[in-house]
Amino acid sequence: MEQCLDVQRRLNGLEDQTLESSGNNNTPELKAPVGFKDPTKLTKWVKVFLCLSIAISVVSIWSGSLEYGMLMDFKNGVYSSRETAMANAQANDLRQGIVGLVGVVIVLITLFCFFKWVYRANYNLRRLGAARLKFTPGWSVGWFFIPIANIWKPYQVMKEISRVSSNPSDWAGRKGLSILSWWWGFWLISGYFSQVSFRMSMRADGVNQLLSANVLTLISDVFDIPAAIITIILVGKLFEMQMTSFRKLTQLPLESDTSILTLHNE
């Protein structure tokens, strides 16, 4: 009986200590991040479609190289008859059209997944305890679509996400990932050549202009590959940083486990 009363007194004492510590403002209280959205599946889809975009870039380079050879044959007068030249031109247009259509679909889905991932990454930072962020979840995506400002704002968005993700509760003074500069540099170069080649191809009225547009498109496709690879690495790093921060917040303190085990052993 005395042992039972002794255990009861210890339990009451433990309860009183818990109530006192919970009311103490100086003691940090462990809380699971409310509203945190698991980005695991979304991150996987982003990587899948980035890999598909790499594959279609390789196919585009192959198809563009065939077009370049055909245009050079036109320029050098290799074709013996007009019928043969027109047949090759039609086959080239069909092949390029199919590759281009598939490429557009893949790029659109990839961008949709990526922008959704950026939105969620920014959103989750606040659920992990981050404060005083410059960019909201909506504007973290919106700046990608604002002319002129989208030359530097998306880089700042991703830099803030990378600075905060490692330690959302204390991120002031932290630097962004060094890979960010490479990521944004490749995307700017690729986007520039892509726009210039598209405009040039729309205005082209001769073989020489078509050749120039073709070369610019090939350059854009080449830069697309390392840009996508770096994006895969960047997304993976930021994902791991946020999930590490999430696990730290949801992990039970070892002291509570130890006290319970000690009580039961006694």
Q: How far is it, in rounded angstroms, from Cα 179 to Cα 12?
A: 55
Closest CA to 128 of 25, 234, 243, 253: 243
Identify the H or E element spanning 265.
helix 254-265
CA distance 123 to 125: 6
What digits encode the pLDDT tens for the residues 5-45? Answer: 443 444 344 344 443 444 444 444 445 567 889 999 999 99
The domain segmentation of the chain, as residue ranges, is 39-253
Q: Which pLDDT value is given to residue 32?
A: 54
The DSSP call for residue 135 is S
pLDDT of residue 54: 97
Q: Which two tokens stand for residue 210?
A: 């078509």
- Which positions of the chain have pLDDT values less than 70? 1-33, 252-266
